[in-house]
Chain A
């Protein structure tokens, strides 16, 4: 038995027939080809699959695809617009907030939600806000710095224009 699921993902409408047991993360990766959302555990500990569902951070392995019916989803692929990085992405780049990069999309999405609810978090609030995500490379030190720096950039409007290029300046 398959069920119909219609979603808006990164501003585009999609309609698919899926198995009811299909997890949202697998729907995004396998049916929509949005492979930036990663799977790092089987038990919802790691947060690598974090996306925004109607603006709220959700581990996409904790939802069935069919539960996303009619919802507005944002994945990591929807963060940079017209070749311009989102300030959180830019901050992760500037502050060396990633190494292997596997957990990074989840952290960026969780940080996006955090900053939408608390635009100027303290270090402690950043640590509390991101406690659902695991990173094995960075020791979290530069992730905290990145989120803090993103908060500053985002609150000092207008956002600084940045462009995606390999090997930027210093």
Chain B
């Protein structure tokens, strides 16, 4: 990389001035003349036959321009909801999914009718007048019962409820390890179902030009190019006829990756009604309709030696797919491939079972599979430590992949690019004052107080990704990334990328990279993303902590091409040989003659003029694709300290230390912000949040933010953060990812701390969320 001025510095975010003054542009801030507003009628039942829909009253309601049911969309939309192979290439049963139900509804919230009216209020009023007659069917809710051949089926007429059942590695792979075992620990570990809850719900506005046959969709999406691909296909349009614009996005956390029924229905209504149609999700609609995450349980056993050496693992993931297979739902099975964590194992046997139920589909939620893997392995390591009465720190140290062993091929053949796990652990222990904490814990125990210290020495894989891995996983499209860098005649630089941001600050960090590499002020650089009509022909969106490690590197490569073209032109202008011209600090000069120089801006201007070298085309711009040779592997060590109130069962987090290693850092302020937010979401899983459905009826009980407990400012503690830096050898920037790290790391640290606090009571495992009622009951039970 060029001489660094901006990269690595705390640069104020360029997106903030508009956002802190109320001038951001989120989907609900857009209006078009002549817009009709949509409202949807959704099933109140988890599972039912739709017998009859009476739209008479709704059609006559004030301001209503149209009422639609499934039949109306049949001629408009074709195909079924895409379900990517992800980590389960062959699925047993993927139910057909049309965006609006006709004869059968399979989760509470599934759409059965739609209304268009002149105002949002009129549309909502009319939707309430639609009478739907249902015949209720048994709801499939329990994962284990759902696997019983005699169980009712989530979809009528289906053979069973098994979406997939894949054994990655059979029992024989870990047999030898278990034969050597001196100790075996077993546990069933629950992963509570979670709602991503971005503060901005979803929304879609569609405009269809009847004569030009052009469709513009403005929507809140992490992934506009994929939406264009899916929606154009379903509507019988060419990709070139569809433009998807995703403006400022008020958070996503995975829930704005996959296409949703409304993403198809709203454009189809715009085409039928021949006017712009807008729909903004209510929070209640969002909670019962936006994809959920986690919703799994694991049966795990681990074999170890008496000295703490880990030998083998056997694990099965039981995953609640929901009523339909989410587009990237099978991505969550990567928990199996990551189950070994930061440690060396002789053998791991892993199986994943995806089970259809009558709940909303699950799909990636921040971390997706990797938080589950960390939680599982970090819990099991603590169980081994407890069984052997060893310090959990020692068991970890004993089994770490050593810093000299990278690149390290782990049990499933994935190659961990770089790491130094002891270093981050040592730093975390030092910051936390681990030895003093243990002394304090001993003192507090003497006073009958429950204090616990929990560790999570987490690793993850991210930066999706290499074409060889990702093209098969999506059904053919490699999740590489592209970038276009365009220099105008007056030297301003427009950068287009196919990633998108929903809080990550790409307008700042990507511009830091470009400004440094071109040696121009950051003010000259303008990042454009989120509009399929601009820039790169395809983009792959933002998720899986991929934006910098894939998209940022693509940007850097495109800049490199621009610099190279500029060098040829500068050499021509300086009457020197190409190879004698160097580019430094924003200007070209002849080697050994620093006075023979052309500033980048001069070269840019000249590139649009006359007298270019023979064969050179005008202009100064380049497109680059980056196909990473490997995924990237961030890691770190988190330490949580808790006190548990014996009277109430309330868990108080008294200290949180996070040492993370995401390779080279572009903007430390943004990195810390990502860690804060990620940790908060994992604390939320560990202590507060859980989607609750009635286990009989399938009614969602946590359907408002009054009932679903996302933590407030009083629940999340301040945090002590630090970093180690182990550059990734996978890309030229040496960067990894940080967007999901906190979420991947923290639930295990918190729960390990809670278990540690309660260990004097003989408690060895606590499921999430470790809410006061759960802990209070466990403490009472243990005290008997």
Q: Which residues of A contact B (CB under 8 A)?
A: 19, 21, 29, 34-43, 45-46, 48, 75-77, 79-80, 85, 89, 92-94, 96, 98-105, 108, 123, 126-128, 130-131, 133-144, 164-170
* A-B contacts, 7 listed (Cβ < 8 Å): A96-B673, A99-B503, A102-B26, A136-B677, A140-B680, A165-B17, A168-B12
CB-contact partner of B11 in A131, A142, A167, under 8 A: A167
- Contact assessment for A100 and B706 in the assembled complex, using a CB-CB cutoff below 8 Å: no
5 further contact pairs, Cβ within 8 A, besides A38-B200, A93-B20, A103-B199: A46-B199, A48-B199, A77-B21, A85-B21, A134-B710
CB-contact partner of B503 in A38, A137, A165, under 8 A: A137
Least Cβ–Cβ distance between B744 and chain A, in angstroms: 15
Assuming A99-B504, A101-B503, A136-B253, is B23 touching A36 (CB within 8 A)? yes
B522 at the interface (CB under 8 A from A): yes
- Contact assessment for B251 and A137 in the assembled complex, using a CB-CB cutoff below 8 Å: yes
- Contact assessment for A92 and B16 in the assembled complex, using a CB-CB cutoff below 8 Å: yes
- Contact assessment for B502 and A35 in the assembled complex, using a CB-CB cutoff below 8 Å: no
CB-contact partner of A108 in B17, B20, B200, B706, under 8 A: B20
A-B contact count (CB 8 A): 187
- Contact assessment for A100 and B503 in the assembled complex, using a CB-CB cutoff below 8 Å: yes
Among A29, A79, A127, find the residue whose CB has the most chain B CB atoms closer than 10 A.
A127
Assuming A42-B284, A131-B714, is B22 touching A35 (CB within 8 A)? yes
- Contact assessment for A144 and B10 in the assembled complex, using a CB-CB cutoff below 8 Å: no
- Inter-chain CA distance A69–B248, complex, in Å, is 33
0/1 interface trace, chain B 663-679, chain A, CB 8 Å (1 if under): 00000011011001111
Count contacts on B: residues with CB < 8 A to the other chain.
61
- Contact assessment for A141 and B251 in the assembled complex, using a CB-CB cutoff below 8 Å: no
Contacts of A39 in B (CB 8 A): 28
- Contact assessment for A100 and B250 in the assembled complex, using a CB-CB cutoff below 8 Å: yes
Assuming A101-B250, A143-B713, is B670 touching A38 (CB within 8 A)? no
Interface secondary structure of A, over-half rule: loop
In the complex, residue of chain B having the shortest beta-carbon distance to the beta carbon of A132: B712
B719 at the interface (CB under 8 A from A): yes
- Inter-chain CA distance A169–B679, complex, in Å, is 28
- Contact assessment for A41 and B283 in the assembled complex, using a CB-CB cutoff below 8 Å: yes
Contacts of A127 in B (CB 8 A): 713-714
0/1 interface trace, chain B 191-210, chain A, CB 8 Å (1 if under): 00000011111000000000
B718 at the interface (CB under 8 A from A): yes
Least Cβ–Cβ distance between B250 and chain A, in angstroms: 3
Assuming A80-B21, A127-B713, A139-B719, is B121 touching A170 (CB within 8 A)? no
- Contact assessment for A105 and B22 in the assembled complex, using a CB-CB cutoff below 8 Å: yes
Contacts of A126 in B (CB 8 A): 713
In the complex, residue of chain B having the shortest beta-carbon distance to the beta carbon of A147: B713
Contacts of B710 in A (CB 8 A): 134, 136
- Inter-chain CA distance A115–B12, complex, in Å, is 24
- Inter-chain CA distance A142–B679, complex, in Å, is 13
- Contact assessment for A45 and B705 in the assembled complex, using a CB-CB cutoff below 8 Å: yes
Contacts of B673 in A (CB 8 A): 96, 99, 137-138, 142
Among B197, B502, B678, B716, find the residue whose CB has the most chain A CB atoms closer than 10 A.
B716
Least Cβ–Cβ distance between B714 and chain A, in angstroms: 5
B523 at the interface (CB under 8 A from A): yes
B249 at the interface (CB under 8 A from A): yes
Least Cβ–Cβ distance between A21 and chain B, in angstroms: 8
3 A-B pairs closest in CB distance: A36-B22, A102-B250, A139-B680
Least Cβ–Cβ distance between B67 and chain A, in angstroms: 22
- Contact assessment for B17 and A164 in the assembled complex, using a CB-CB cutoff below 8 Å: yes
In the complex, residue of chain B having the shortest beta-carbon distance to the beta carbon of A124: B714
In the complex, residue of chain A having the shortest beta-carbon distance to the beta carbon of B705: A45
B704 at the interface (CB under 8 A from A): yes
- Contact assessment for A136 and B199 in the assembled complex, using a CB-CB cutoff below 8 Å: yes
- Inter-chain CA distance A87–B248, complex, in Å, is 24
- Inter-chain CA distance A143–B504, complex, in Å, is 16
Contacts of A37 in B (CB 8 A): 22
- Inter-chain CA distance A38–B29, complex, in Å, is 9
In the complex, residue of chain B having the shortest beta-carbon distance to the beta carbon of A100: B503
- Contact assessment for A141 and B199 in the assembled complex, using a CB-CB cutoff below 8 Å: no
- Contact assessment for A138 and B677 in the assembled complex, using a CB-CB cutoff below 8 Å: yes
B272 at the interface (CB under 8 A from A): no
0/1 interface trace, chain B 378-413, chain A, CB 8 Å (1 if under): 000000000000000000000000000000000000
- Contact assessment for A170 and B9 in the assembled complex, using a CB-CB cutoff below 8 Å: yes
Contacts of B15 in A (CB 8 A): 101
B731 at the interface (CB under 8 A from A): no
- Inter-chain CA distance A29–B523, complex, in Å, is 32
Least Cβ–Cβ distance between A151 and chain B, in angstroms: 16
Assuming A96-B670, A102-B199, A134-B705, is B248 touching A42 (CB within 8 A)? no
In the complex, residue of chain B having the shortest beta-carbon distance to the beta carbon of A165: B17
CB-contact partner of B712 in A35, A79, A131, under 8 A: A131
CB-contact partner of A167 in B522, B676, B712, under 8 A: B522
Contacts of A144 in B (CB 8 A): 713, 718
- Inter-chain CA distance A79–B15, complex, in Å, is 18
- Contact assessment for A79 and B714 in the assembled complex, using a CB-CB cutoff below 8 Å: no
Assuming A77-B22, A102-B26, is B713 touching A133 (CB within 8 A)? yes
B282 at the interface (CB under 8 A from A): yes
Least Cβ–Cβ distance between A100 and chain B, in angstroms: 3
Least Cβ–Cβ distance between B697 and chain A, in angstroms: 22
B317 at the interface (CB under 8 A from A): no
Assuming A40-B283, A127-B713, A143-B713, is B523 touching A166 (CB within 8 A)? yes
Contacts of B418 in A (CB 8 A): none
In the complex, residue of chain A having the shortest beta-carbon distance to the beta carbon of B201: A40
B19 at the interface (CB under 8 A from A): yes
Assuming A96-B670, A167-B12, is B199 touching A135 (CB within 8 A)? yes
- Contact assessment for B16 and A98 in the assembled complex, using a CB-CB cutoff below 8 Å: yes
- Contact assessment for A43 and B14 in the assembled complex, using a CB-CB cutoff below 8 Å: no
Least Cβ–Cβ distance between B288 and chain A, in angstroms: 12
B43 at the interface (CB under 8 A from A): no
Contacts of B704 in A (CB 8 A): 41-43, 45
Residues facing A in B465-502 (CB within 8 A) are: 502
Least Cβ–Cβ distance between A105 and chain B, in angstroms: 5
- Contact assessment for A167 and B511 in the assembled complex, using a CB-CB cutoff below 8 Å: yes
- Inter-chain CA distance A43–B283, complex, in Å, is 9
Least Cβ–Cβ distance between A148 and chain B, in angstroms: 11
- Contact assessment for A141 and B676 in the assembled complex, using a CB-CB cutoff below 8 Å: yes
CB-contact partner of A94 in B12, B712, B719, under 8 A: B12
- Inter-chain CA distance A98–B200, complex, in Å, is 14
- Inter-chain CA distance A76–B24, complex, in Å, is 11
- Inter-chain CA distance A167–B756, complex, in Å, is 46
CB-contact partner of B19 in A29, A46, A98, A134, under 8 A: A98
- Contact assessment for A136 and B198 in the assembled complex, using a CB-CB cutoff below 8 Å: yes
0/1 interface trace, chain B 27-52, chain A, CB 8 Å (1 if under): 01100000000000000000000000
Least Cβ–Cβ distance between A147 and chain B, in angstroms: 10
- Inter-chain CA distance A79–B282, complex, in Å, is 28
- Contact assessment for A102 and B251 in the assembled complex, using a CB-CB cutoff below 8 Å: yes
CB-contact partner of B12 in A21, A79, A93, A136, under 8 A: A93
- Contact assessment for A89 and B21 in the assembled complex, using a CB-CB cutoff below 8 Å: yes
Residues facing A in B221-280 (CB within 8 A) are: 248-251, 253
Contacts of B680 in A (CB 8 A): 138-140
Least Cβ–Cβ distance between A91 and chain B, in angstroms: 9
- Inter-chain CA distance A84–B94, complex, in Å, is 56
Assuming A136-B198, A136-B253, A167-B508, is B677 touching A99 (CB within 8 A)? yes
- Inter-chain CA distance A135–B679, complex, in Å, is 13
Contacts of A96 in B (CB 8 A): 13, 669-670, 672-673
- Contact assessment for A93 and B22 in the assembled complex, using a CB-CB cutoff below 8 Å: no
Contacts of A85 in B (CB 8 A): 17, 20-21
- Contact assessment for B705 and A167 in the assembled complex, using a CB-CB cutoff below 8 Å: no
Contacts of A131 in B (CB 8 A): 712-714
- Contact assessment for A93 and B198 in the assembled complex, using a CB-CB cutoff below 8 Å: no
